[in-house]
């Protein structure tokens, strides 16, 4: 904790600087690292145990006590130096005695500076800790929440939550340490001394020093309200700009850049108006408090005068000085309230995120049946419905899916195919009805039981309809792991028909795909996602429209890989030819299964939906 | 440098700079005056009716030495302080909008691959983070520095008046401060730059978590993901801590300098008092002033370090503003000038020996491409995935690096035209049907000002049943992929462009919807030039011409009757009818 090297020469500092700006992770400190580890291990109760501040104080109790006690030492040193200087002012002393006292005063001052520097450093560590503390918790929460698509927690908002809200909180804490705690301690240590010296006038002066605070409290509330409005504007700004920089090609196709720029300008304007209001209040508040230190002196002199206090000038000035020390911090207290206002708005938002239910919260306790090593074989849908907020996507589904078979799913646009697939691999839970899982040892249990859910999540490889790519190498995108085996990745690449594409790339599977895969073509992105599902080696695959962006030739090769590489799959598709190779075909319409059977029989039946779909193509040839 | 330029952009602030500086000076001077006045009061505390007379521009101002005058001065001090900050900060807030506008303008024009090279986290941080800091702290830090500076000067003057020797001693102190700053400032600014980079990287890694968390949880790779995030995060914290260390180091030494100064001044005072040359009141005033001066020096250096931060934010903002225009970087070929640059385009689209890559040094995707798309025809483009079909479209929009050859529309080279004018000729359905957060109306109409029933009828025609004011989340996450594609088609129908470019417009539509859309497009687009990229050959049956691309070259072309059987042998059979 005390590796600060505060007394090193500039040159040594520079050398140190050059070393530590390398990636060497040295200064994170054992506290932080253990916080990471601890949260990893017992994340659950840390998140649930609610109160942010309490949680934080408990975690960093050692740090905090140290800061507070060092601050206390600082206040005592101030007191000592004030007393020394008061003695100096006292005319009765001889010159040599005064100079000695001055020497002591100087020493005290030096010690005080050093304490201050250490405290500043400690405070910064705490600020770093708070960022870690919040970020780590947020990360865990997000992972445990699963996918959700509410406007409040859209990607843009989450990004501002991580990038700016956490700083607000840290800012507040910083201000608390810089001004709040010293002020409080100053009051505790110096206040009684002023009283002792000056009696009632001293008390009046201290009270005057604090008189500006109630106003600051009122202002702080206003700031808090405005902060929420400002946050909203900032969120929309972040969303627009985020969309802009990630979809610049689309914007240029559509010629919408000016449109978005004017939208951004509009939001900025609104933001500035709100901020102007907020800061207007802030400034009045700050202006008053910064000049407020002049005020306490007046009643001090005045009351002293009225009460015909006999105290000599040196006592008076010693008191003024001590007052100065208190007001020095008091003047920044309004800033503290204001930054609390801003931080509180951010914490409110964080707490809304933290209080969002986890996937696990919706799960039931383990079903107490022997599931060890058992494999799910069938899913029974029991009057299952699913609705996105108010929009019903699947209604009253009754259906049994044999996982070890090859099942395909077709249906009109928006008929609920993707939703059904998400239900199958337990990405989402039904809003009504239940899904029963049948295991190979004969156990049948509700998917919502903890252990059943875990067992189901282990067996599916899921390929979403929209490709997900992270800004990393191709190999990491396929394996989601830096420590992969190249050979297995290559195998997945071959199966996903990507081999031909990577021959053009200099670095092969180490090629960077760019953010959201910008360096790849549409079909390549899709196949990387397929390769990921194949790489996972999961027994069953859930594939959402894996063939939409590839040519017909590649399509049949991919179908062959999928049939060979897994013990069963569920696949939705709009490409019909290859579906005949599957065992079972479901036709969805408006959230209901309207047809179910073997594709070949359905194709032969001229009145079946499937054959109608097939014929749709034919009609267009003739036209 | 960046700082000076930044101050130069603050237009509104410049207009009111004279009153602002006067108020700042007043705000700085009044507390010192207050102390001085207090000293005078102390001097004649026991006599009644003592007063201070000022001669202000010929006016006689007489202030009685009473507590109410003290109170009045304190109130004036507050008022001036509030006024100074308000003028400075709020006008700065408004002025900085200009910087944001310029950044956005520059982003509108920068080359497209710039966005591929820079992670979005970094760009967002520049466009919003740095701007936000400039808006909130930037102007404030300039104002604060000006304030602190004025404060230091006023208190310095006060000390000078009260005790000239103590006043002169400030000079070596200032020299020491400057010396310290020359050591510290470069390191601080370097550390700040590094910190910005590292924070950007950490945020960028968080993106993986936000966007890809379902993938990572499903495949049980959460630990791996977190490891990556924490590595980046750790780096950013590291530099943050080092920065803090630098600050503490600087603070310590500045504190030591000012403590030594105070002790020396006190020594002079004590000696003076013992020699009876310094009265107790003067000593008290000087001590209070020195005490304040120390804090003010501190404040000044604190503000200066914020000023340093502002400079680095400003530097990053100006980096964005100064980015070159996309046309300057899209080619090494000499600039072509069109004689009538704003005349609407009309005629065949011809690629002549055209070559491109996405960035200058990346391998070429289209090489010596020659093809002609006759006006008014419907042309289908097919090819294996990764053949360069989408690249062809990007080439036409001038989003890529141009290595050679030319693209002409109606005989005019597109490289001689204004870029946005060129782009306004084409209607597009992109391969990835992304919707912008907002409403359906916004996504449908965009820049067009159309009556609602137009919009509704377009939605009807593509068969989409949604309200115009229904909300859309980022990317259109709350609609199925097919619905998004239909919306893109509706948008295409609405804006009547002369050239239509569709990149697999029906890839996520079911057969029957697809078929309906094909018919709709045929009637809607009959008089326009249509270029469609397709993987499903059967959707190209009624087209006029089919072209096959492979490895960035045109392999063959012909009418569908001829081409489709040929292609069937290469790309596999089209669906047999039942
Ligand atoms: N932004 C980019 N930067 C670098 N390389 C790119 C970029 N976009 C595409 N490429 C590369 O260019 C090649 C051609 O891509 P293009 O998108 O034109 O293919 P496509 O024919 O449209 O394929 P698909 O049918 O899969 O969409 C691919 O190999 C791809 O990796
Ligand atoms: N996140 C969401 N929020 C609200 N509504 C949604 C969301 N996702 C899908 N929907 C709606 O639910 C319905 C079913 O969507 P789903 O994605 O399952 O369709 P789909 O059959 O996969 O369609 P497509 O063939 O276009 O992919 C659609 O009407 C869609 O608008
Ligand atoms: Mg879908
Ligand atoms: Mg493409």
Residue A361 is predicted with a pLDDT of: 78
Q: What is the pLDDT of residues B245-258, one digit of tens each?
A: 788 888 888 888 88
Burial of B300 (0-12, 13-18, 19+ CB in 10 A): buried
Quote the domain boundaries for residue B186. Answer: 163-277
Q: Which of B67, B108, B571 sits opposite A257 (nearest CB)?
A: B108
Q: Which of A429-438, B40-49, B367-376 has the lowest mean pLDDT?
A: B40-49
| A587 Cα: distance to centroid of ligand 3 (angstroms) | 13
Average pLDDT rounded to a whole number, residues A296-319? 65
Classify residue B322: in a domain, yes or no.
Answer: no
- How far is the CA of B327 from the CAs of B103, B356, B401, B417, B578, in angstroms? 18, 14, 10, 10, 53
Strand partners, A435: A381
Burial of B269 (0-12, 13-18, 19+ CB in 10 A): buried
Query: What are the structure tokens assigned to A306, written together?
Result: 């009225």
Among B277, B308, B334, give the residue marking a domain's end: B277
- Whether B512 and B423 map to the same domain: the answer is yes
Across the interface, whether the CB atoms of A8 and B519 are under 8 A apart is answered no
Segments of B14-112 assigned E as strands: 51-56, 59-64
Q: Which of B504, B537, B491, B500 is nearest to B522 (CA)?
A: B500
Q: CATH code at B543?
A: 3.40.50.300
- Chain B residues in contact with A619 by the CB 8 A cut-off are 515
Longest dimension (CA), chain A: 119
Q: Which residue of chain B is at minimal alpha-carbon distance from A469?
A: B212
Across chain B, mean pLDDT equals 84
- Whether B255 and B381 map to the same domain: the answer is no
Classify residue B226: in a domain, yes or no.
Answer: yes
Strand partners, B406: B352
Q: Which of A112, A249, A481 sits opposite B394 (nearest CB)?
A: A249
Q: Is the pLDDT of residue A251 over 90?
A: yes
What whole-number percentage of chain B has pLDDT above 70?
96
- Whether B379 and B264 map to the same domain: the answer is no
| B473 Cα: distance to centroid of ligand 1 (angstroms) | 27
Q: Which of B40, B31, B24 is nearest to B74 (CA)?
A: B31
Q: What is the pLDDT of residues B181-236, one digit of tens each?
A: 888 877 787 788 888 888 888 888 888 888 888 889 899 888 888 888 888 887 78
- Chain B residues in contact with A247 by the CB 8 A cut-off are 434, 436
Residue A217 is predicted with a pLDDT of: 81
Where residue A7 falls among pLDDT bands split at 50, 70, 90? low
Q: Choose from A7, A551, A607 for mutation: most chain B CBs within 10 A.
A: A551
| Nearest ligand by distance to the CA of A591 | 2
- Mutation choice for ligand 2 from A148, A393, A593, CB with most ligand atoms inside 8 A: A393
Q: Which of A503, A581, A495 is nearest to A537 (CA)?
A: A495
Classify residue B539: in a domain, yes or no.
Answer: yes
Domain count, chain B: 2
Average pLDDT rounded to a whole number, residues B267-272? 83
Burial of A389 (0-12, 13-18, 19+ CB in 10 A): exposed
Q: Whole-angstrom Cα distance, residue A161 to residue A153?
A: 9
Residues with CB under 6 A from ligand 2: A 149, 388, 391, 393, 411, 413-419, 465; B 477-483, 508
Residue A608 is predicted with a pLDDT of: 86
Q: Is the pLDDT of residue A616 over 80?
A: no
Q: Which residue of chain A is at minimal alpha-carbon distance from B384?
A: A551
Average pLDDT rounded to a whole number, residues A36-56? 53
Classify residue B470: in a domain, yes or no.
Answer: no
- Whether B538 and B420 map to the same domain: the answer is yes
For residue A300, the distance in angstroms to the closest alpha carbon of chain B comes to 10
Closest C-alpha residue for ligand 2 atom 22: A418
Residue B541 is predicted with a pLDDT of: 83
- Chain B residues in contact with A143 by the CB 8 A cut-off are 209, 213, 216-217, 222
Across the interface, whether the CB atoms of A151 and B473 are under 8 A apart is answered yes
- Whether B263 and B379 map to the same domain: the answer is no
- Whether B221 and B369 map to the same domain: the answer is no
DSSP codes of every residue in B405-448 = EEEEETTEEGGGS-HHHHHTTEEEE-SS--B-SEEHHHHHHTT-
Residue B247 is predicted with a pLDDT of: 83
Across the interface, whether the CB atoms of B212 and A470 are under 8 A apart is answered yes
Classify residue B91: in a domain, yes or no.
Answer: no
Residue A584 is predicted with a pLDDT of: 93
Residue A29 is predicted with a pLDDT of: 43
Average pLDDT rounded to a whole number, residues B167-181? 85
| Nearest ligand by distance to the CA of A526 | 1
- Whether B260 and B359 map to the same domain: the answer is no
Residue A310 is predicted with a pLDDT of: 55
For residue B319, the distance in angstroms to the closest alpha carbon of chain A comes to 16
- Whether B266 and B367 map to the same domain: the answer is no
Kindly report the length of chain A: 623
- How far is the CA of B364 from the CAs of A324, B277, B355, B408, B553, in angstroms? 71, 87, 7, 20, 11
Half-sphere exposure of B312 (CA within 13 A, CB side): 19
pTM: 0.86
**Straight-line distance from the first to the last Cα atom of chain A, in angstroms, rounded to the nearest whole number:** 80
Q: Quick one: DSSP state of residue B323?
A: P
Mean pLDDT highest for which of A195-204, A416-425, B35-44? A416-425
Task: Provide the total of helices (H) and of strands (E) in chain A, helices listed first.
Answer: 25, 10
Across chain A, mean pLDDT equals 81
Residue A261 is predicted with a pLDDT of: 92
Q: What is the pLDDT of residues A445-457, one digit of tens each?
A: 999 998 899 899 9
Residue listed under structure tokens 């058992």: A374
Where residue A47 falls among pLDDT bands split at 50, 70, 90? very low
Where residue A160 falls among pLDDT bands split at 50, 70, 90? confident
Tally Cβ neighbours within 10 Å of residue B328: 11
Closest atom of ligand 2 to A416 CA is: 18
What whole-number percentage of chain B has pLDDT above 90?
23
Closest C-alpha residue for ligand 1 atom 2: A519
Interchain contact B266–A (C-beta under 8 A): yes
- How far is the CA of A546 from the CAs of A530, A535, A575, in angstroms? 7, 15, 10
- How far is the CA of B276 from the CAs of A88, A91, B40, B42, B270, in angstroms? 15, 10, 18, 17, 10
Residue A618, C-beta contacts closer than 8 angstroms, at least 6 positions apart: B577
Classify residue B360: in a domain, yes or no.
Answer: yes
Strands A540-544 and A568-572: what pairing?
parallel
Q: Whole-angstrom Cα distance, residue B510 to residue B505?
A: 12
Task: Provide the total of helices (H) and of strands (E) in chain B, helices listed first.
Answer: 21, 14
Q: Which residue of chain B is at minimal alpha-carbon distance from A519?
A: B116
Classify residue B304: in a domain, yes or no.
Answer: no
| B447 Cα: distance to centroid of ligand 4 (angstroms) | 26
Where residue B483 falls among pLDDT bands split at 50, 70, 90? very high
Among B247, B277, B307, give the residue marking a domain's end: B277
Q: Whole-angstrom Cα distance, residue B377 to residue B530?
A: 6
CB A492 within 8 A of CB A515: no
Where residue B390 falls among pLDDT bands split at 50, 70, 90? very high
Where residue A530 falls among pLDDT bands split at 50, 70, 90? very high
Q: Whole-angstrom Cα distance, residue B162 to residue B307?
A: 32
| A408 Cα: distance to centroid of ligand 2 (angstroms) | 18
Longest dimension (CA), chain B: 118
Classify residue B423: in a domain, yes or no.
Answer: yes
Average pLDDT rounded to a whole number, residues B47-54? 68
Q: Choose from A104, A315, A480 for mutation: most chain B CBs within 10 A.
A: A480
Q: Whole-angstrom Cα distance, residue A229 to residue A291?
A: 30
Residue A157, C-beta contacts closer than 8 angstroms, at least 6 positions apart: A151, A235, A238, A239
| A490 Cα: distance to centroid of ligand 3 (angstroms) | 29
CB A545 within 8 A of CB A564: no
Q: Which of A610, A481, A390, A86 is nearest to B222 (CA)?
A: A481
Q: Which of A10-24, A184-198, A336-350, B126-140 has the lowest mean pLDDT?
A: A10-24
Query: What are the structure tokens assigned to B361, written together?
Result: 């040094």
Where residue B318 falls among pLDDT bands split at 50, 70, 90? very high
Q: Which of B121, B134, B122 is nearest to B93 (CA)?
A: B134
Among B244, B277, B310, give the residue marking a domain's end: B277
Q: What is the pLDDT of residues B8-39, one digit of tens each?
A: 778 777 788 888 888 888 888 887 888 778 77
Where residue B577 falls among pLDDT bands split at 50, 70, 90? very low
Residues with CB under 6 A from ligand 1: A 501, 504, 518-524, 549; B 116, 358, 362, 365, 383, 385-391, 431
Residue A131, C-beta contacts closer than 8 angstroms, at least 6 positions apart: A166, A167, A170, B237
Q: Choose from B436, B496, B550, B561 for mutation: most chain A CBs within 10 A.
A: B436
Q: Whole-angstrom Cα distance, residue B195 to residue B240?
A: 6
Across the interface, whether the CB atoms of B34 and A294 are under 8 A apart is answered yes
Residue B47 is predicted with a pLDDT of: 58
């Amino acid at each position: 904790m005390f590796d600060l090297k505060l007394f090193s020469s500039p040159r040594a500092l520079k050398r140190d600087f050059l070393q530590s700006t390398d990636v060497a992770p040295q200064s994170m400190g054992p506290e932080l690292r253990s916080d990471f580890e601890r949260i990893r291990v017992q994340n659950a109760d840390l998140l649930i145990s609610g109160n942010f501040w309490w949680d934080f104080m408990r975690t960093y109790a050692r740090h905090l006590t140290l800061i507070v006690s060092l601050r206390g030492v600082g206040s005592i040193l101030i007191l000592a130096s004030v007393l020394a200087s008061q003695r100096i002012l006292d005319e009765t002393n001889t010159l040599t005695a005064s100079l000695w006292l001055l020497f002591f005063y100087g020493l005290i001052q030096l010690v005080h500076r050093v304490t201050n520097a250490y405290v500043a450093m400690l405070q910064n560590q705490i600020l770093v800790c708070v960022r870690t503390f919040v970020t780590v918790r947020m990360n865990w929460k997000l992972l445990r929440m699963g996918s959700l698509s509410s406007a409040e927690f859209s990607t843009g908002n989450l990004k501002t939550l991580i990038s700016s809200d956490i700083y607000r909180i840290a800012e507040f804490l910083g201000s608390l340490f810089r001004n709040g705690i010293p002020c409080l301690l100053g009051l505790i240590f110096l206040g009684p001394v002023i009283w002792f010296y000056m009696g009632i006038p001293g008390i009046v002066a201290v009270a005057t020093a604090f008189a500006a605070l109630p106003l600051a409290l009122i202002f702080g509330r206003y700031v808090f309200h405005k902060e929420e409005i400002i946050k909203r504007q900032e969120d929309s700004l972040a969303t627009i700009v985020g969309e802009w920089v990630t979809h610049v090609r689309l914007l240029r196709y559509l010629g919408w850049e000016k449109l978005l720029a004017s939208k951004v300008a509009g939001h900025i304007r609104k933001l500035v108006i709100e901020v102007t209001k907020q800061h207007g209040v802030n400034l009045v508040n700050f202006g008053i408090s910064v000049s407020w230190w002049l005020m306490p002196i007046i009643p001090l002199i005045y009351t002293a005068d009225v009460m015909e206090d006999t105290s000599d000038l040196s006592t008076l000035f010693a008191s003024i000085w001590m007052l100065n020390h208190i007001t020095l911090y008091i003047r920044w207290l309004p800033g503290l309230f204001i930054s609390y206002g801003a931080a509180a708005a951010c914490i409110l938002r964080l707490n809304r995120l933290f209080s969002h239910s986890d996937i696990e919260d919706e799960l039931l306790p383990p079903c107490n049946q022997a599931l060890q090593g058992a494999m799910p074989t069938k899913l029974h849908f029991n009057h299952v419905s699913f609705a996105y907020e108010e929009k019903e996507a699947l209604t009253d589904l009754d259906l049994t899916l044999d996982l070890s078979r090859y099942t395909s799913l077709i249906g009109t646009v928006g008929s609920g195919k993707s939703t059904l697939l998400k239900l199958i691999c337990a990405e989402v839970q039904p809003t009504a009805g239940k899904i029963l899982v049948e295991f190979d040892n004969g156990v049948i249990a509700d998917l919502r039981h903890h252990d059943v859910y875990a067992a189901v999540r282990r067996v599916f490889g899921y390929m979403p309809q929209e490709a997900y790519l992270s800004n990393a190498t191709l190999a990491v995108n396929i394996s989601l792991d830096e420590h992969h085996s190249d050979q297995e990745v290559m195998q997945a690449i071959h199966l996903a028909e990507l081999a031909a594409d990577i021959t053009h790339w200099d670095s092969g599977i180490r090629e960077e795909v760019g953010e959201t895969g910008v360096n790849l073509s549409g079909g390549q992105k899709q196949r990387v996602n397929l390769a990921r599902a194949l790489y996972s080696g999961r027994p069953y695959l859930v594939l959402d429209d894996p063939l939409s962006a590839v040519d017909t030739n590649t399509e049949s090769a991919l179908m062959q890989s999928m049939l060979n590489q897994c013990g069963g799959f569920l696949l939705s598709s709009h490409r019909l030819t290859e579906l005949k190779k599957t065992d079972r075909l479901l036709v969805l319409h408006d959230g209901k299964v309207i047809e179910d059977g073997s594709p070949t029989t359905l194709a032969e039946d001229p009145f079946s939906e499937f054959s109608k779909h097939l014929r749709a193509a034919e009609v267009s040839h003739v036209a | 440098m960046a700082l000076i330029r930044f101050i130069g952009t603050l237009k509104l602030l410049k207009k009111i700079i004279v009153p602002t500086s006067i108020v700042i000076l007043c705000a700085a001077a009044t507390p010192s005056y207050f102390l001085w006045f207090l000293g005078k009061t102390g001097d004649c505390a026991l006599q009644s009716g003592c007063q201070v007379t000022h001669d202000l521009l010929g006016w006689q101002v007489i202030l009685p030495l009473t507590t109410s005058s003290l109170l009045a001065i304190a109130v004036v001090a507050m008022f001036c302080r509030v006024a100074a900050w308000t003028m400075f900060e709020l006008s700065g807030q408004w002025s900085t909008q200009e910087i944001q506008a310029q950044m956005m303008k520059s982003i509108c024009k920068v080359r497209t691959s710039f966005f591929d090279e820079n992670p979005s986290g970094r760009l967002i941080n520049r466009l919003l983070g740095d701007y936000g800091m400039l808006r909130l702290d930037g102007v404030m830090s300039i104002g604060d520095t000006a304030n602190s500076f004025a404060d230091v000067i006023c208190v310095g003057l006060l000390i000078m008046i009260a005790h000239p020797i103590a006043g002169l001693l400030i000079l070596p102190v200032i020299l020491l401060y400057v010396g310290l700053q020359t050591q510290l400032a470069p390191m601080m600014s370097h550390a700040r730059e590094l910190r910005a980079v590292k924070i950007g990287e950490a945020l960028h890694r968080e993106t993986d978590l936000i966007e890809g968390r379902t993938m990572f949880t499903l495949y049980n790779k959460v630990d791996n993901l977190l490891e990556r995030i924490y590595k980046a995060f750790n780096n950013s914290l590291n530099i943050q801590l080092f920065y803090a260390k630098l600050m503490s180091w600087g603070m310590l030494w500045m504190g030591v300098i000012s403590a030594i100064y105070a002790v020396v001044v006190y020594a002079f005072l004590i000696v003076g008092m013992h020699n009876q040359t310094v009265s107790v009141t003067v000593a008290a005033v000087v001590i209070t002033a020195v005490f304040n001066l120390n804090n003010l020096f501190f404040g000044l250096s604190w503000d200066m370090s914020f000023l340093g931060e502002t400079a680095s934010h400003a530097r990053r903002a100006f980096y964005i503003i100064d980015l070159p225009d996309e046309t300057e970087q899209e080619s090494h070929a000499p600039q072509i000038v069109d004689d009538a640059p704003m005349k609407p385009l009309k005629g065949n689209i011809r690629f002549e020996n055209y070559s491109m890559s996405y960035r200058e040094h990346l391998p070429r995707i289209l090489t010596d491409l020659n093809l002609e798309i006759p006006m008014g025809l419907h042309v289908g483009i097919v090819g294996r995935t990764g053949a360069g079909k989408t690249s062809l479209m990007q080439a036409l929009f001038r989003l890529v690096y141009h290595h050679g050859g030319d693209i002409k529309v109606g005989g005019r080279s597109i490289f001689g035209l204004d870029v946005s004018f060129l782009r306004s000729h084409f209607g597009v359905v992109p391969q990835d049907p992304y919707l912008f957060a907002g409403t359906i109306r916004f996504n449908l109409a965009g820049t067009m000002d159309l009556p609602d029933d137009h919009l509704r009828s377009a939605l009807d025609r593509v068969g989409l049943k949604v309200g115009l004011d229904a909300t859309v989340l980022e990317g259109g996450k709350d609609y199925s992929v097919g619905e998004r594609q239909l919306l893109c088609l509706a948008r295409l129908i609405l804006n009547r462009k002369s050239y239509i470019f569709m990149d697999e417009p029906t890839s996520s539509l079911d057969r029957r919807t697809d078929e309906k859309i094909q018919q709709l497009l045929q009637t809607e687009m009959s008089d326009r030039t249509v270029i469609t990229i397709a993987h499903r050959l059967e959707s190209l049956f009624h087209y006029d011409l089919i072209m096959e691309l492979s490895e960035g070259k045109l392999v063959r072309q012909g009418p569908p009757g001829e081409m489709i059987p040929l292609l069937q042998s290469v790309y596999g059979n089209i669906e047999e009818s039942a």
